[in-house]
Amino acid sequence: MKVALSEVRSYDVSAIRSTLERSLVDLDLSFAGARTAVVKPNIVTGRPPNSGVVTHPAVIEALVQLLRDAGVSRITLADGPGVGLDCDWVFEKSGYRALADRLGVQLLTFNGVARRQREWKYGKVGVPEMLEDADLYINVPKMKTHGYTTVTLSMKNHKGMLSQADKKLDHHLGLHEPLAEQARLRPPDLIVLDGIVGLEGDGPLNGKRVRSNLLAVGTNMLALDATVARHMGIEPGEVKHLVFAAEKGLGTLDPEVIGQAPVRRFARANEEYGRVGNIYSWRDCTACSMCIDSFSGAVALAVKEPRYWFTLVPKLAWWGLIGGLHIVQGREGRLPNRPGKVICFGKCTGELAAREGLTHIAGCPPTAREVAETLRKGL
């Protein structure tokens, strides 16, 4: 197993394209004979191309050019943005709608596509038919740290093809081992990692953009992720899903590396909590991202709607600047050891809230409106 590393200093499409061409030659890979391709960037939410949060569209454009030159005539870009998000908004903000229109390729969300039920360690899981049927599946992750999984690279990006229900189930199953097991489901034919600009610290959404100048290409997710993690200053043995994948024989932690790029040590995410001012969201890998997205949605409502301007907005400001607010989520959520109000989110925390007599917002996830109203009236 080989991984090709290159130093790339900008999102210039022609520079990325020539680097990709060289990497494919180094890895002895070609697209010959392929007619259809599904390309899966990381478009987890609606952040701009340069945010460090989403795969930069320039990398996808370079890839699409190469695919077309090789005779691949049907190219689809697809991802499953965070559950509960408006996909049109996500594609618009991230630059993917404009890219797809300009290139004349299809842009889809995996949410709602036809699936075949496949056996896996935990029973059955739905795999998109379009992914299984494509001649090529190309996984194009972003290089980021992550509060639950230490890093999010190709194996974590691969999870985006699951249905929303299966994504929730993944968390209930403990996340790390299911991530490894998913590597058996329609593995990619090619991986192109965008590490030209990455995200360090409080990833995958709220970290700090970092210029890391790396483009990595390979065919095995574990091999590529282990190599890239080392470039982030993180030993693969510290990343639980990579360890599970290695134990299951799904690749190697020590592939042959072709080429080189400078190591850029990434600051890690705090694995205990995410924080904006004194508003904390306590981490538990059994919680999917939806509950915290509902809180973000409630904040957006508070800013947008006049009815909240003199009710919820002052409360949020007080909690954020002085008083403290703690959002507890997940089936193994625990009580914070810091001063402030505590609120339990979603059905996962129902038992904890009842046992401790805490304010609870039910739902899976609760809607942004329910969250806004509870925060406005209660606490």
Binding site for ligand SF4 (CB under 6 A): 168, 287-288, 290-291, 329-330, 346-348, 364-365
Which of residues 185 and 288 has its CB atom nearest to ligand SF4 in the complex? 288
* Closest of 140, 147, 132, 127 to residue 224, by C-alpha: 140
* Closest of 254, 291, 255 to residue 274, by C-alpha: 291
Q: Two tokens at 282?
A: 């306590």
Which residue type sits at 121? K
Which of residues 125 and 253 has its CB atom nearest to ligand SF4 in the complex? 125
Which of residues 177 and 225 has its CB atom nearest to ligand SF4 in the complex? 177
Q: Alpha helices, DSSP H only, in 196-332?
A: 221-231, 240-247, 290-304, 312-318
Q: Two tokens at 295?
A: 């809180």
Residues 6+ apart with CB under 8 A from 43: 54, 55, 79, 81, 90, 91, 94, 96
Which of residues 17 and 168 has its CB atom nearest to ligand SF4 in the complex? 168
Distance, in Å, from the CA atom of 39 to the CA atom of 141, rounded to the nearest integer, reads 10
Which of residues 66 and 290 has its CB atom nearest to ligand SF4 in the complex? 290
Kindly report the backbone phi and psi dihedral angles of residue 117, in degrees, each rounded to the nearest multiple of 5, phi listed first: -80, 125
**Which helix (H) or strand (E) is 193 found in, with range?**
strand 190-200
Which of residues 251 and 330 has its CB atom nearest to ligand SF4 in the complex? 330
CB 247 within 8 Å of CB 221: no
CA angle at 178 for the pair 172 and 180, rounded to the nearest 5°: 155
Sign of the four-CA dihedral 272, 275, 278, 284: negative
Least Cβ distance, residue 46 to ligand SF4 (angstroms):
19
Give the chain's radius of gyration (CA, Å).
21
CB 218 within 8 Å of CB 255: yes
Q: Give the strand pairing for 2-7 and 74-79.
A: unpaired
- Nearest residue to ligand SF4 by CB is 346
Which of residues 72 and 371 has its CB atom nearest to ligand SF4 in the complex? 371
Least Cβ distance, residue 361 to ligand SF4 (angstroms):
9
Which residue type sits at 321? L
Least Cβ distance, residue 32 to ligand SF4 (angstroms):
43
Kindly report the backbone phi and psi dihedral angles of residue 206, in degrees, each rounded to the nearest multiple of 5, phi listed first: -115, 20
At what angle are helices 57-69 and 13-26 packed, to 10 degrees?
Answer: 60
Least Cβ distance, residue 9 to ligand SF4 (angstroms):
39
Least Cβ distance, residue 347 to ligand SF4 (angstroms):
5
Which of residues 196 and 361 has its CB atom nearest to ligand SF4 in the complex? 361
Which of residues 90 and 348 has its CB atom nearest to ligand SF4 in the complex? 348
CB 329 within 8 Å of CB 284: yes
Least Cβ distance, residue 152 to ligand SF4 (angstroms):
18
Least Cβ distance, residue 348 to ligand SF4 (angstroms):
3
Least Cβ distance, residue 1 to ligand SF4 (angstroms):
35
Least Cβ distance, residue 239 to ligand SF4 (angstroms):
22
Least Cβ distance, residue 269 to ligand SF4 (angstroms):
18
Which of residues 259 and 363 has its CB atom nearest to ligand SF4 in the complex? 363
What is residue 51's three-state secondary structure? helix
